[in-house]
């Protein structure tokens, strides 16, 4: 949660979550500890654990407006494939987590 602040791109939050997941899985022995975490990240295997991305926007009367949510096109087939929010966070945006 400490990464979430105005000016940070949501893609960075998403990748940080992938890195956290990979590190946890390595500690548990679910993913090979002998393989560098960045190599696992590049392989895209952690994407299987985020089938809908890390999160998305919710407006007062609109849910996931494509033009408001999409800001990047690179790696649309990789780890960002199902990420619904792809933009820089702004002052006043609300982020909800069930991790707290």
pLDDT in tens, 16-73: 999 999 999 999 999 988 899 999 999 999 988 887 777 666 655 555 555 555 555 5
Out of 2-6, 25-29, 30-34, 96-100, the most confident range is 25-29
Buried b (16+ CB within 10 A) or exposed e, 31-66: beeeeebeebbeeeebbeebeebbbebeeeeeeeee
Q: Which of 4-13, 19-28, 55-64, 82-91 has the lowest mean pLDDT?
A: 55-64
Please answer whether residues 9 and 83 qualify as being in contact, where contact means their C-beta atoms are separated by less than 8 angstroms: no
By C-alpha distance, which of 2, 20, 14 is closest to 87?
Answer: 14
Q: What pTM did the predictor assign?
A: 0.74
For the chain, the structural domain boundaries read 1-93
């Amino acid at each position: 949660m400490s990464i979430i602040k105005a000016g940070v791109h949501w893609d960075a939050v998403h990748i940080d979550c992938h890195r956290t997941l990979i590190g946890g899985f390595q500690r548990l022995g679910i993913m090979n500890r002998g393989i560098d975490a960045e190599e696992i990240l590049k392989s895209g295997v952690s994407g299987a654990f985020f089938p809908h991305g890390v999160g998305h926007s919710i407006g007062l009367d609109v849910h996931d407006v494509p033009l408001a949510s999409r800001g990047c096109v690179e790696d649309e087939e990789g780890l960002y494939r199902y990420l619904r929010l792809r933009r820089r966070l702004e002052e006043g945006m609300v982020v909800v987590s069930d991790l707290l």
